[in-house]
Each structure stands twice: as structure tokens, then as C-alpha cells.
Amino acid sequence: MNKVTNKVALITGASRGIGAATARVLAQEGYSICINYHKNEQAAHALQKELALITNKVVIKQADVSSEEDVVALFDYIDKELGVITALVNNAGILKPQIRLEELTAQRINEILITNVTSCFLCCREAVKRMSTKHGGIGGAIVNVGSAASRSGAPGEYIDYAASKGAMDSMTKGLSLEVAGEGIRVNGVRPGFIYTDMHKDGGEAGRVDRLAPQIPMQRGGEASEIAEAISWLLSDKASYSTGTFIDLAGGR
């Protein structure tokens, strides 16, 4: 096991929610960080300013990570500004308003899959090229942020979103085996009902509070709780963990 001394992390979709919480934890742990955002430049700049009080190695970069051209440019930027990436958190994703499957359109399905799944594939591809000992790299770790919806299917609400997260689970397992002998660990976290702004995107800002009584722990989760699990999976403390998932759903 090679211990990485210059820790460089990319967090996609890091301007808010779980991504921002993860950036805060990793900054405390000495990572150089690239905060990726798609549209919310103001929030990304605010987070960069906040983290600059902890570490001066924080950069922001706009990129639509479902775009191959943008992803290539994003990783080239990290190479130049921070050095070779050692940690990738695939957090970017979207959620659409709650509807049943019979109301889904091809446009919505494709947007969900391209944004949530293609982005994960593209970012993993570029990370592997740099991390893999097969290509002269020193190794690294990848954490894919899935969802408990991949297990429940999210009936009556977000079957398309759930399916996209199921695809991420399959990719996580397959890639972990593909690069296990090349110094790269690939794991996933599957959050349940977490207090983030994403629920507004789904048309129900108070969804977590509504469903909290159905959760065995009787409460929703905080983004910081997910960030701590991501941080552990990226760290040397999880050095023998690959192809695994941490379910963070309060017992559901």
C-alpha cells in the first residue's frame, strides 16, 4: 500500500449539500481541493473563500461533468493547478419533480442518466488514467455518491433517479475489480433521506421531515454525516476496502 502525501481531491457538484460538506471535511484533513460546479458560481466562490481560511490550496472550476469536453478540461486544469489527482468524489447529480413512470418522457430519462451516470463514467475514466500504477500513477481512491433509492426503487416518485443510482452501483463494483491491482480503490456511499436543497428540485422541500417517522432512527440525516463516511473511504484507514458500499439511511 502506497501512502499518498500530496492529497489532491476533486469533488463534483461541490457548491452545495453533500459535495460542499465533503469539501469542508477534506480541507480539514489537508487535501488540496478542486470544487467543481455547473451553474452556481456564487456558492462555489463562497465555499472557496470559507475553505481558504483552512487551506490555501482550494480552486474552483466550472464544468458540466456530463460533457466529455468539459471533463477533460477539468482534469487538465487540476493537473496544472494542484498536481495529480489522488481522490475523486463523484457527487454531481440531479433530481426531477416527483412523477410516476407512466408520465416519464425520453427527454427527462436521458437527462437524468447522462447527468448522473455518464458524468460518473467520464470522471472515473480521467481519474484512472492518472491514478493507475499501470499508467505510471501512484494510486488513489474514488467514492461514488449513490442513493438508498437504488435499493428501494423510489416508486411513485423518482424511478428514473433510482435507476441512475443503480447504474452507479454496478459501475462502482465493476470498476473496483477492474483496477484493484492498480493501486485504486473504488467504493460507494448510499445516502437516504438527507437534509439538502436537492429535495426542492424534486418539488417537495419538506420531504425529509414528512418521511422521518418512517425511518428507524426517526430522523433525517445531515450532509456532514455523509461527508465523514466519504472521507473515511478516501483515507488510508479504509486501505483494504474496495467494491463496497456504506448505506447511510438511518436503518432503512
Average pLDDT over every residue of 119-145 = 98
Does residue 200 have a pLDDT over 80? no
Whole-number pLDDT of residue 207: 84
Percentage of the chain modeled with pLDDT above 90: 89
Average pLDDT over every residue of 38-42 = 94
CATH of the domain at 233: 3.40.50.720
**Segment 47-97, tens digit of pLDDT:** 999 999 998 799 999 999 999 999 999 999 999 999 999 999 999 999 999
92/198: higher pLDDT: 92
Whole-number pLDDT of residue 1: 47
If one counts the domains in the chain, the total is 1
Estimate the crossing angle of helix 223-234 against helix 17-28, to 10 degrees. 50
Does residue 205 have a pLDDT over 90? no
Does residue 3 have a pLDDT over 60? no
26 to 96, 106, 147, 166, 224: CA distances (angstroms):
29, 38, 21, 26, 11
- Residue 3 forms part of a structural domain: no
Active site residue ranges:
161
- Residue 1 forms part of a structural domain: no
pTM for the whole structure: 0.95
Burial of 45 (0-12, 13-18, 19+ CB in 10 A): middle
Average pLDDT over every residue of 191-211 = 80
> What range defines the domain where residue 219 resides?
8-248
